[in-house]
Structure 1
Amino acid sequence: MASTLSTTDASRLAPVSPRGQVRPRRGRPGPYPYWFYLPGAVIYGIFFVVPTFASFYYSFTRWDLFTSTFIGLDNYRTFFAEQALLIGLRNTVIYAVLTSGLKVVIGMALATLLTSQIIARGYLRSVIFFPVLVSTIGVGLAFTVLMNPEQGLINKALASVGIAGPGWLTDPKLAIVSVGLVDVWKGVGLATVIFIAGIVSIPGEYFEAARVDGATRWQSFRRITLPLAKPATASVITLSLIGGLRSFDLIWSMTRGGPGFASDVIASVIYKQYQAGFFGLSTAGNVVLFLMVTLVVVPLTYWLNKNEDR
């Protein structure tokens, strides 16, 4: 017949913690761990949150270094009435799509090559990454000389094989594309490194199983590398697109938005307004650029990463 333990017997037979101590209840942690967030939050607030809200406010004013006058939406009306704005918007989209697309394609191709069994693989990785370390202004000035239509080394090399080189930076139809190709040359090394990190993180057993099953290199790349390197692809697309939409320094050092407005982007239009002393107008342009980048990148990032954890 089953017997029922008394309360005293049950407490005596229950497990106890080491040294006979009663285990305390697990409650919510105290405030101590959250103090470690404070330095980062202060820095983030001072250098990002405060300037962002200040920019939104000053975009509604006519201001200089000492005074400001609230004028409502006049700066935005004037900015969107700018003749160069539509050209800048078009060039910004062309530049961002061109540079980000080429960085993804070329970066993936180079990463696939540099993770295979080739000679001097480590040296080649360093060579491809080296342009990332070079100053953007220095790269712009160097390629301005190389792309000179008359004395540039590129056109001279083309002339030596009987090809008449174009005006890379003087032809309105080629200027923005030429600068974009230089941007790709400079930034593809970073995309390649990100892709290499994504590819080497794929377990080697998958590729071995594919070889045993008789899969070709293209089939292994399409069925294994591309799907499993999706996080790296998402990172490269996001970073390249943000850089393309915000690009200014390379374009300004090579063409200053010329010839005419042919290679102007939104950032260069804003800078020209700053140079002319229209501080409130240029601040409104910065807000427009900020919103544009946010509206493009945030949904794209969500779409690229929505199936990552599945």
Structure 2
Amino acid sequence: MSDAALDRQEPAARRRTARRRVPYPYTFYIPAGVIYAVMFLVPTIASFYFALTRWTLFDSHFIGFGNFVQFFREPFLVQGLVNTLIFGISTSALKVVLGLALAVLLTSRIPARGYLRAVIFFPVLVSFIGVGIIFVSLMHPTRGAINVTLETIGIDGPGWLTTPWLALYSVIIVDVWKGVGIATVIFIAGIASIPSDYYEAARIDGATKAQQFWRITLPLSRPATVTVITLSLIGGLRTFDLIWTMTGGGPGFSSDVVASIIYKQYQSGFYGLSTAGNVVLFLLIALVMVPLTTWMNRREIDI
């Protein structure tokens, strides 16, 4: 290589080195890092510490894992943990199944497709508190519109929110009704992104609608499925407002979830125990979601 070529390459190399050493681009991370540390890291670390103490607003006493031992010894606390898993898994599974079915329907050539999309998405815009208040009235055992309607056709409606074994599942139904709209929108976006050439080739080969769904729509909408499962499962595991509005965790403790138990413990002044519940909920979500998302993303890459 000639000396002239070396002279031309040397300034370029110096400029690249200078650009790498300039700290200016990294300063844009500082605001986000500060917000993340203040809003997430500091409260998380503080929660882990205070979960090991018996504390009030003015003092604290370190007691080790006493709060966690008490948490798992209380039957209603363990019941709340089980209810949380039931609620999270049930709502997530139903939103995936119903959301995908509705998305397939609403991406087909049916009349008033745009209007139906708006109707299905509308409950997402209503707050959980508003939805809870409405359904408490609709599910009233004697005066509720649901049981009154069932009575007109000769069916005695159950106590949707007053029967211990049924209360949690009644709230699950309401949560799915409210949240299936966002799942449907995500699936619609996923289905719309599938190239139409695949369907045209399948029709030429004589594939039926069912075969097109199982061979094309379902596999290629996998990213949307992963998104819906992730969002709905995290939301279900940390649910509180709908449970609290509709049942308050009752009757008894039959519909309590970890979040509602935490709130009750705070109300009663058991701050250390409630903080331990927060840590248990955090670890529960992490233990469920980290392996699940890792597995789903790996499967997506393999496909």
TM-score, normalising length: structure 1: 0.92
**Counterpart in the other structure of 2:98:** 106
Of 1, 6, 13 in structure 2, the residue corresponding to residue 24 of structure 1 is 13
Deviations 1:183-207, CA, capped at 9 Å, x for gaps: 0000000111111111111111111
- Given candidates 194, 197, 201, the residue that maps to 2:189 is 197
**Residue 54 of structure 2: SS of its match in structure 1?**
strand
Unaligned runs of 5+ in 2: none
Query: 1 CA distance for matches of 2:191 and 2:7?
Result: 50
Residue 234 of structure 1 corresponds to 226
Within a 5 Å distance, the mapping from 1:267-282 to structure 2 comes to: 267-282=259-274
Larger relative helix fraction: 2
2:245 aligned with 1:253, yes or no?
A: yes
1:73 and 1:294 map into 2 onto residues whose CA distance is 20
Instruction: Give the deviation of 1:155 after TM superposition.
Output: 0.7
Q: Which of residues 73, 87, 106 is equivalent to 1:81? A: 73
Q: 2:149 aligns to what?
A: 157
Cα deviation for residue 22 of structure 1 reads 5.6
Residue 137 (str. 1) matches residue 121 (str. 2): no
| 2:60 alignment partner in structure 1 | 68
- 3-state secondary structure, aligned to 2:61: strand
User: Which amino acid in the other structure matches residue 24 of structure 1?
Assistant: A
Deviation string, structure 1 residues 67-123 (Cα, Å, up to 9, x no partner): 112121111111111120121122111111111110000000011111111222222
| Partners of 2:71 and 2:78 within 8 A in 1 | no
SS in structure 2 opposite 1:262? coil
Deviation per CA, 1:15-42, whole angstroms, max 9, x where unpaired?
A: 997xx99633534352211111111111
Select the structure of larger CA radius of gyration.
1
Equivalent pairs, count: 299
The residue type paired with residue 56 of structure 1 is F
Over 3 Å counting, the alpha-carbon distance change for 1:91 and 1:22 in structure 2 is closer
Q: Give deviations 1:30-71, integer Å, cap 9, x for gaps.
A: 221111111111101100000000101111111111211212
Secondary structure at 2:111's aligned position in 1?
coil
Residue ranges of structure 1 left out of the alignment (5+ in a row): 1-6
The 1-side partners of 2:227 and 2:112 are apart by 27
Matched residue SS, 1:69: strand
SS at match of 1:23: helix
- Partners in 1 of 2:101 and 2:282 — Cα distance? 32
Match of 2:109 in 1: 117
Residue 206 to residue 64, structure 1, CA distance change in 2 (3 Å): same
The one-letter code matched in structure 1 to 2:194 is: I
**1:264 aligned partner:** 256
Aligned counterpart in structure 1 of residue 139 of structure 2, from 147, 154, 163:
147
Give distance in 2, aligned partners of 1:56 and 1:249. Answer: 24
* Counterparts of 2:208 and 2:275, CA distance in 1: 55
Change (3 A) 1:227 1:16: farther
Is the Cα–Cα contact under 8 Å of residues 226 and 296 in structure 2 kept in the other structure? Answer: yes
2 CA distance for matches of 1:120 and 1:114? 9
Amino acid at match of 1:150: T
Residue pairs, 1:291-310, within 5 angstroms: 291-310=283-302
- Indicate the percent of aligned positions where both proteins have the same amino acid: 65
**Hey, which bits of structure 1, 4+ residues long, moved more than 6 A?**
none
State the 1:252 CA deviation: 0.7
Amino acid at match of 2:224: A
Amino acid at match of 1:82: E
Q: CA–CA distance in 2 between the matches of 1:97 and 1:282?
A: 24
State which of 261, 279, 298 in structure 2 corresponds to 1:287.
Answer: 279
CA shift, 1:309, in A, is 3.2
